[in-house]
Chains A and B, each alone.
Chain A
Amino acid sequence: AQKITQTQPGMFVQEKEAVTLDCTYDTSDPSYGLFWYKQPSSGEMIFLIYQGSYDQQNATEGRYSLNFQKARKSANLVISASQLGDSAMYFCAMRPNNDMRFGAGTRLTVKP
């Protein structure tokens, strides 16, 4: 069965510093996609970054990068130069086939 685990219910980071949000997954499918979404208090899920299981390089999108360690089945999100607007819930998700599974999320708070 596919499973996504986010072990950090909450994280704090000082403005302008980098932060890593952890995500581990479990699947027996050889081909899958990993996604990170941001959910502000308004409720909308905002797509941040994607990593394919066969991608050789870690994905990057602006200040977001994904530290993909396939053998360890981890896909940690790194946010560089944190901003106050980064305060939100962050969800890791995996899609091996038709079924997208989400983790329980990590609440990130950026301190001024």
Chain B
Amino acid sequence: EAEVAQSPRYKITEKSQAVAFWCDPISGHATLYWYRQILGQGPELLVQFQDESVVDDSQLPKDRFSAERLKGVDSTLKIQPAELGDSAMYLCASSSPGAFPDTQYFGPGTRLTVL
């Protein structure tokens, strides 16, 4: 069964350090999403890609966060420098824009702890 892959599963870092998360969507899914989920809350969208183009990054803190999907397949989310408030679960999801409904399928997430 096709799955969204993410790595690492867990990351512990100190504040002011740089961290990066990787996501490989389900094969053939042109749309890729990065979400942040703070403990006790629902996921919130950070950035959405359609192929290699950014569709929505209005909620991405661009002073420290960046995301890319250079070849329109896998994607990297980077935080530099990390702050204590960045501790959260970072979820990647993908969907096929031609499918109905356009259900988003999620990966296992990366749990980030900033010390």
Contact = CB atoms under 8 A, between A and B. Distances in A.
A35 B103 contact: yes
Contacts of A91: 42-43
Contacts of B107: 44
A84 interface: no
Contact of B42 (A46, A47, A104): A104
A52 interface: yes
Contacts of A33: 101-102
A4 B41 CA distance: 12
A55 to B, nearest CB: 10
Interface string B16-28: 0000000000000
Contact of B56 (A4, A44, A47, A99): A99
Given A50-B103, A52-B101, A91-B42, A98 B108 contact: no
Contact of B89 (A37, A43, A98, A102): A43
Nearest to A103: B42
B113 interface: no
A99 B45 contact: yes
Nearest to B42: A102
Contact of B48 (A4, A98, A105): A98
B34 to A, nearest CB: 12
Contact of B43 (A45, A47, A50, A98): A45
A42 interface: yes
A100 interface: yes
A38 B103 CA distance: 14
Interface of B: 33, 40-45, 48, 55-56, 89, 91, 93, 101-109, 111
Given A43-B108, A104-B40, 5 more contacts: A45-B106, A47-B104, A47-B106, A93-B42, A104-B41
19 contacts: A4-B42, A33-B102, A35-B103, A35-B104, A43-B111, A44-B107, A44-B108, A44-B109, A45-B43, A45-B91, A47-B105, A98-B48, A98-B56, A99-B45, A99-B56, A100-B33, A100-B104, A105-B41, A105-B42
Interface of A: 4, 33, 35, 37, 42-47, 50, 52, 91, 93, 95, 98-100, 102-105
